[in-house]
Structure 1
Amino acid sequence: MPDLRFKPAAPQKTDVPRPKRGEGQWAFGYTEPLNKNEQSKKDDDPLNVRDRILYTYSKRGFDSIDPADLRGRFRWMGLYTQRKPGIDGGKTATLEEEELDDRYFMMRVRTDGQLLSHRAVRALGTIGQDFGRDTADVTDRENIQYHWIEIENVPEIWSRLEDAGLSTLEACGDSPRPFLGSPVAGVAVDEIIDGTWALDEIKRRYIGDPKFSNFPRKFKTALTGHPSHDVSPETNDVAFVGTIHPEFGPGFDVWVGGGLSTNPHLTEKLGVWIPLEAVPDVWEGVAGIFRDYGYRRLRSKARLKFLVADWGGPKFREVLENEYLGYLLEDNPSPVSPIGHRDHIGVHPQKDGNVYVGVAPTVGRVSGTLLVQLADLIEKYGASGARLTPYQKIVILGVDPLRAPDLVDELDVIGLSARPSTWRRNTMACTGIEFCKLAIVDTKQRSHDLIDELERRFPDLDLGDQGITVNVNGCPNACARTQVADIGLKGQLVTDENGEQVEGFQVHLGGATGLQANFGRKLRQHKVTSAGLDDYISSLVSNYLEDREQGESFTTWVARADEELVR
């Protein structure tokens, strides 16, 4: 690597054109808040709300909570009020937030690619049992998410999490959201580079740092050294992707500006090589650009993807090098993208002679009790621990290969299958109307029922690692990555054959990450009622199986199929 990497020059200002109209970019002096969210963050750093929760709100109860904290700063502590029961999806956009609020909280616990010991998994389980009505979900951000949390119990929950080496800090809010790390980091036989140290170091340096607690909006990070790109790097604000330089060896490329929701963008690949030890500094640079140049005037344009789309990758790299790093990055072609994604389901060899076992909870829904049972099995079989995945799955690492068959059998008993059907393996769902204030339709139970029905209708279907993915979202925000699924379902109210408004979905077909990365095909005026979903997907899959060419993936087929076959 050039000496410049080790002796960086002083950062210099890049010639970035001053915008004609203020977008709230701090770098150009537009520091006056332009909306209520920015004003709230200026009034008080959201990190300060932790003490108010510990010493005031938890002692005085829900009614003592300042509304600016309740519906704003609490998010930096991983807390949202959950949806009040009984409010239908038609009222989601018409009621004020306080009318949707329940007196209970959703709480997110970040794991950031961490290997969870049996003690940590047990702590997560008992928290759900004791304080969350036995709830616990595995999310596609590698979080554990609880519901029914009462403010009075938050200090005890935080204490238990801290004892387990875990935290809810900045799990939500305009902050560095929980990181995605490869579930098989450090053990996979075909791993290019283990990035565990870098994620730990980013977390140590920057989570809870006031210099990085006020972004224009959320900031999502992913890192993997696995060739399968198992963290959906194309859809994150910043992603570090394992690559090999012909002279310097294993390192990381840097991808920026990914994101989904109503204006989806895939990442710009900078085509660089950085060593493991440089990852935290480069993360700081990318985060600094977002903080300083990100658009703050409109929340709908406040994600990094909009800035990257306007600047382009070369300009972004120039600013990163000149203003934030003080040295030039090494050019290197971006790594080859794999086909599809890798969820690590099943039993796989590790490079140390042990095996890891990937299991599939149904659409991420587990429970406190199930996590306690999992902890017992991790301890019983002497496994190293467990990691969560970006596909709502769990991977158990460090298993003796001779004992793996018995472990797989016992995991089946508690509802965590290492040999699931293609539907149970490949279906994800967001929280949905059961608890989320933004949702319009039910997702978790609807997806569970859909899986049961598809298993009944296609009992022997086995498409291997390239199974048909179904991502179910309760609203347009794409928390379940709707646009990059084979079948993406975006919840909305639709009109049924009787002219009644009912729960339903807009359909996206053929989306993907990896080699075939795209946002899928939307058919004009094509919507499906929730009640008709089983029949629609069954017909779609049957048409694919009948019309496909030898070895043709669903993604490829959808792109060429006649419209009558996919409607």
Structure 2
Amino acid sequence: MPPTTASTGSRPRRGEGQWALGYREPLNKNEENKKNDDGLNVQQRIIDIYSKAGFDSIDPADLRGRFRWLGLYTQRAPGIEGGKTAVLEPEELDDRYFMLRVRIDGGQLSVAQLRAIADISTTYARDTADITDRQNVQLHWIRIEDVPAIWEKLEAVGLSTMEACGDTPRVIMGCPVAGVDENEIIDATPQIRQIHDEYIGSPLFSNLPRKFKTTISGCSAFCTNHEIDDVALAGVVGPDGAPGFDLFVGGGLSTNPMFAQRLGAFVRPDQVSDVWAGVAGIFRDYGYRRLRHRARIKFLIKDWGAAKFREVLEKEYLGYALPDGPEIDMREGQQRDHIGVHRQRDGRNYVGFAARVGRIPGTGLARIADIAEEHGSDRIRTTADQKLVILDVADDRVDSIVSTLEAEDLRVRPSVFRRQTMACTGIEFCKLAIVETKDRGAELIDELERRLPDFPEPVTINLNGCPNSCARIQVADIGLKGQLVTDADGDQVEGFQVHLGGGMGLNPAFGRKVRGLKTTAAELPDYVERVLRRFLEQKDEGETFAAWAARAEDGDLK
């Protein structure tokens, strides 16, 4: 529903480019490209032209812009060091291959769907696959010539890459154990499906100011991280005792992190689709389009405040008022990742397990599909922590599936470090990255397991290859932001700026930065071991790493 008035507060300067205030003329190249042609239209050109004529036939405006609407990014050309990331032009960084992101709304996969992704990986992507912290799967080394065949394989099992990237509503995150968890507040699967079916791929929201991230979950552990999404609906018991959702808007990390603001409204399950479309509509119409770095919805709600945002939502987009609602019921020390063996409400079990930093080859995905099927399951789930879950395992098959997964190095009972370490794509494939992350994260896990085999605390370690925080560095206990640093010999080498004590939950906080606190990549295991040992030496009874890091002396954090 379009806005009916523009009198919702002080008139911003024309330069913000807000459509609702009559400013429709594009103010940068990205906006001009979107006005010239909807990103959704590139799909047919890929099928009819580019896949037949090859990489050199691709219009640059499609290659580095509209391709994202179909989940395609050019990957980084091999051999370009991190110091060149911000220096070279896009065409100099581009490889002739693509990253392809498969969107998995709610993290829900069948055996057939997982097998299809595995087959695409082994046939077209050199056996690569990464489980992301947004429940997607990313493949690499994709040729443009193969994209139509890949789409056909995905569509045959009900999957797609539609709006997996771009200035669009990206994957809708949901609890991986929705509908089966004994402690669930509400199963949000119907709401996720409704929004997907009504709005994903629709021109109504295919031209947003920037990306738009959604989570809708009734998980009592709040596993989809509602605190850091553009729009989030989190399960809560309403004023009349019926379950519904608490509404949050404006979360996001990157170089200007903000936690989402609670609007104080209770949303019934049957209202979720309308409310989601209203929030997306506000972003489309009132979002800032002049500067890309200010085009996320978090900047709009920061300027407006939650009360004004709710007023505009209700009056201009919904046409009715939402009732005030209770806050979500969060508890201290909740593990959000669903790792391990847990009882389902139907008496069966779900089994969550960890690969190394989310990297599993296509052959590994095929093996997981086989293991699930062999143990009577047709439901596999991805999580917001680069993990996987198999549902519907009978009691008498639990021991077998656990031992089989563990034999494949898929840990159902992982160490703290296997369980709690995440890494983004890194310089191997990403054009924004400055340092390597995936292999380094896996090596860090091995080193810490060797050096601190009985480490007892659930400390999170997140590695990111650049400042954009795809791996959520600001809300990790130990967040590592990739950059070039100077080593003892005075040479520029790969390293990390360190953020300490970030987290979400009852006491959300962004990690503390200590002046000069950096480490080279080579010294990373030594640094992490050192700071973890100091934590164990100095912590009070029951004190978390985040609480200790907030009070520790600067010298103890170095």
Fold match (TM-score > 0.5): yes
Cα deviation, 1:163-207, whole Å, max 9, x if unaligned, reads 111110000000001111101100000000000000000000000
Residue 57 of structure 1, aligned match among 29, 50, 66: 50
Any conservation in 2 of the 1:190–1:227 contact (CA below 8 Å)?
yes
Q: Does 1:236 align with 2:229?
A: yes
Question: Quick one: distance in 2 between partners of 1:306 and 1:338?
Answer: 29
CA 1:163 to 1:114, structure 2 compared with 1: closer, same or farther past 3 Å?
Answer: farther
Any conservation in 1 of the 2:6–2:21 contact (CA below 8 Å)?
no
Residue 173 of structure 1, aligned match among 166, 169, 183: 166
Q: Which amino acid aligns with 1:398?
A: D
Question: Quick one: distance in 2 between partners of 1:91 and 1:172?
Answer: 24
CA positional deviation for 1:414: 1.7
Aligned to 1:537: 528
Q: Which runs of 4+ in 1 moved over 6 A?
A: none
Question: Quick one: distance in 2 between partners of 1:201 and 1:37?
Answer: 30
Any conservation in 1 of the 2:239–2:326 contact (CA below 8 Å)?
no
Any conservation in 1 of the 2:107–2:136 contact (CA below 8 Å)?
no
Question: Quick one: distance in 2 between partners of 1:180 and 1:438?
Answer: 24
Any conservation in 2 of the 1:229–1:341 contact (CA below 8 Å)?
no
CA positional deviation for 1:14: 5.0
Question: Quick one: distance in 2 between partners of 1:15 and 1:286?
Answer: 15
Q: Which amino acid aligns with 2:283?
A: F
Q: Does 1:136 align with 2:120?
A: no
Question: Quick one: distance in 2 between partners of 1:115 and 1:101?
Answer: 32
Aligned to 1:41: 34
CA positional deviation for 1:480: 0.3
SS class of match (1:68): helix
Identity of aligned residues (%): 59
Question: Quick one: distance in 1 between partners of 2:316 and 2:223?
Answer: 31
CA 1:563 to 1:330, structure 2 compared with 1: closer, same or farther past 3 Å?
Answer: same
SS class of match (1:402): helix
CA 1:14 to 1:318, structure 2 compared with 1: closer, same or farther past 3 Å?
Answer: farther
CA positional deviation for 1:91: 0.3
Question: Quick one: distance in 2 between partners of 1:333 and 1:158?
Answer: 43
Aligned to 1:452: 446
Q: Does 1:297 align with 2:286?
A: no
After TM superposition, the structure 1 = structure 2 runs for residues 357-372 of structure 1, keeping only pairs within 5 Å, are 357-372=351-366
After TM superposition, the structure 1 = structure 2 runs for residues 84-483 of structure 1, keeping only pairs within 5 Å, are 84-339=77-332, 340-463=334-457, 467-483=458-474
Cα deviation, 1:504-558, whole Å, max 9, x if unaligned, reads 1010000001112110111012111111111100000000111111111111111
CA positional deviation for 1:433: 0.2
Any conservation in 2 of the 1:13–1:323 contact (CA below 8 Å)?
no
CA positional deviation for 1:420: 0.7
Q: Which amino acid aligns with 1:99?
A: E
Aligned to 1:3: none
Question: Quick one: distance in 2 between partners of 1:414 and 1:277?
Answer: 43
SS class of match (1:80): strand
Question: Quick one: distance in 1 between partners of 2:331 and 2:53?
Answer: 53
Q: Does 1:69 align with 2:62?
A: yes
SS class of match (2:169): coil
Q: Which amino acid aligns with 2:461?
A: V
CA positional deviation for 1:341: 4.4
Residue 562 of structure 1, aligned match among 514, 536, 553: 553
SS class of match (1:551): coil
Question: Quick one: distance in 2 between partners of 1:246 and 1:31?
Answer: 42
Question: Quick one: distance in 1 between partners of 2:182 and 2:303?
Answer: 40
Question: Quick one: distance in 2 between partners of 1:45 and 1:200?
Answer: 24
Question: Quick one: distance in 1 between partners of 2:533 and 2:29?
Answer: 50
Any conservation in 2 of the 1:432–1:442 contact (CA below 8 Å)?
yes
Structure 1 window deviating more from structure 2 (243-252 vs 365-374): it is 243-252
CA 1:341 to 1:27, structure 2 compared with 1: closer, same or farther past 3 Å?
Answer: farther
SS class of match (1:405): helix
Cα deviation, 1:465-484, whole Å, max 9, x if unaligned, reads xx100010000000000100
Any conservation in 2 of the 1:260–1:481 contact (CA below 8 Å)?
yes
Q: TM-score if structure 2 supplies the norm length?
A: 0.98
CA positional deviation for 1:12: 6.1
SS class of match (1:508): strand
Q: Does 1:497 align with 2:488?
A: yes
Q: Does 1:550 align with 2:544?
A: no
Any conservation in 2 of the 1:227–1:338 contact (CA below 8 Å)?
no
Cα deviation, 1:5-38, whole Å, max 9, x if unaligned, reads xxx9x96665332113430100111100000000
Q: Which amino acid aligns with 2:407?
A: V
Question: Quick one: distance in 2 between partners of 1:272 and 1:66?
Answer: 45
Any conservation in 1 of the 2:192–2:216 contact (CA below 8 Å)?
yes
Q: TM-score if structure 1 supplies the norm length?
A: 0.97
Question: Quick one: distance in 2 between partners of 1:296 and 1:246?
Answer: 38
Structure 1 window deviating more from structure 2 (326-335 vs 536-545): it is 326-335
Question: Quick one: distance in 2 between partners of 1:555 and 1:85?
Answer: 38
Question: Quick one: distance in 2 between partners of 1:440 and 1:120?
Answer: 34
Structure 1 window deviating more from structure 2 (80-89 vs 553-562): it is 553-562
Any conservation in 2 of the 1:111–1:178 contact (CA below 8 Å)?
yes
CA positional deviation for 1:430: 0.2
Any conservation in 1 of the 2:107–2:135 contact (CA below 8 Å)?
no
Question: Quick one: distance in 2 between partners of 1:173 and 1:551?
Answer: 43
CA 1:192 to 1:14, structure 2 compared with 1: closer, same or farther past 3 Å?
Answer: farther
Any conservation in 1 of the 2:484–2:496 contact (CA below 8 Å)?
yes
Any conservation in 2 of the 1:115–1:387 contact (CA below 8 Å)?
yes
Gaps of 5+ in 2: none
SS class of match (1:489): strand
Q: Which amino acid aligns with 1:400?
A: A
Gaps of 5+ in 1: 1-7
Question: Quick one: distance in 2 between partners of 1:312 and 1:140?
Answer: 28
CA positional deviation for 1:499: 1.0
SS class of match (1:246): coil
SS class of match (1:239): strand
CA 1:271 to 1:341, structure 2 compared with 1: closer, same or farther past 3 Å?
Answer: farther
Structure 1 window deviating more from structure 2 (342-351 vs 520-529): it is 520-529
Q: Does 1:515 align with 2:478?
A: no
SS class of match (2:315): helix
Give the root-mean-square deviation of aligned CA atoms.
Answer: 1.2
Any conservation in 2 of the 1:170–1:208 contact (CA below 8 Å)?
yes
Q: Which amino acid aligns with 1:237?
A: D
